[in-house]
Structure 1
Amino acid sequence: MTIKWTSALEIGIPVIDAQHHRIVEYINQVEHVQKTHSREELLDVLDELVDYTISHFAFEESLMEEAGYPFANAHSKVHRLFAKRVEAFQKRARAGEDITEELLHVLKAWLVNHIQRDDQDYSADVKANMAQATKRAKARKGSWFGRLFG
């Protein structure tokens, strides 16, 4: 069943929500591939999914680190373990194994659980840090320094 994007998958950080929405689209493409049985298309979608997810993880981790989120290291470890798991699926698919059903089950369950639990946990810290950064930027614009270099 296709994942429908709903507000239950939002953490309230627009850039992260947009990235999560894109990951949902990749997962739905994998589901499409399951119906077409196109090995070539599966490998392409998997490559894109892995690349995009790794860059998303790096971005998310930088926000957590900048915000001083106390569980950033543990969250990063969860990301690394998941990336290894998906890379194992890639290898199996390249070897000719039909992994789509198992992959879909893992992707859907992991993504929803990860967003609704792990990502919700850091969202308050990151949002507070972003609000502070915005406040500081606005204050600088009104200063002589901000007018000179803004």
Structure 2
Amino acid sequence: MTIRWTEDLNTGIEVIDRQHMRIADYINELEHIHQKNDRVVTGRVLDELMDYTLSHFAFEESLQEEAGYEYLRPHQKVHELFTRRINQYLNRYRLGDDVAGEIHGLLRTWLVSHIKHDDADYVAAVRDNMLAILAEKQRSKHEGWLSRFFR
């Protein structure tokens, strides 16, 4: 079943939402390719999906760390456990098992659940931190102009 992006999947942090949408695109692509039974292309998409997801996890965790998100370590643990589980499937796939359908089902379910529950928990902290950084930059910009004006 294809992931259809709906408003309830948006976190409100545009860069994160775009990354989540890209992961959903990979998952949908995996479904389409699996139906064609093309192991080579399926393997390529699985590898690309894992690479992209790992970079997304790292980015997401860096935002949480910068924001001082108190549940960063448990969130990282969720990412680690998920990565370990997917790598087990990938190893089976590389050994010749036809697990692409299983992986697709797991990814589809996990992504939606993770966004709605785990990611929703950190959104306020990260968004507040981003707004504070923007406000500080704006304040610094204006203070620089004012101090130059009065010199």
Fold in common (TM above 0.5): yes
Contact 1:141 1:147 in 2 (8 A): no
Q: Deviations over 1:44-77 (max 9, x none)?
A: 0011001000000000000001111110000001
Give the corresponding residue for 1:102. 102
Worse overlay, 90-99 or 115-124:
90-99
Q: Work out whether 1:140 is the aligned partner of 2:103.
A: no
Q: Quick one: percent identity of the two aligned structures?
A: 47
- 2:129 and 2:108 map into 1 onto residues whose CA distance is 30
- Structure 2: any 5+ residue segments left out of the alignment? none
- 1:109 and 1:8 map into 2 onto residues whose CA distance is 15
Q: Deviations over 1:94-130 (max 9, x none)?
A: 1111002211111011111000000000001100000
CA RMSD of aligned residues (A): 1.5
Give the corresponding residue for 1:90. 90
SS at match of 1:69: coil
Q: 1:51 and 1:146, CA in 2 relative to 1: closer, same or farther beyond 3 A? A: farther
Give the corresponding residue for 1:9. 9
Which residue identity does 1:45 align to in structure 2? V
How do 1:1-150 and structure 2 match up within 5 A? 1-144=1-144
Contact 1:64 1:72 in 2 (8 A): yes
Residue 143 of structure 1 and its aligned partner are, at CA, apart by: 2.1
Q: 1:16 and 1:147, CA in 2 relative to 1: closer, same or farther beyond 3 A? A: farther
TM-score by length of structure 1 reads 0.94
Question: What is the aligned residue count?
Answer: 148
- 1:66 and 1:55 map into 2 onto residues whose CA distance is 17
TM-score by length of structure 2 reads 0.94
Which residue identity does 1:38 align to in structure 2? D
Worse overlay, 81-90 or 131-140:
81-90
Q: 1:110 and 1:145, CA in 2 relative to 1: closer, same or farther beyond 3 A? A: same
Which residue identity does 1:42 align to in structure 2? T
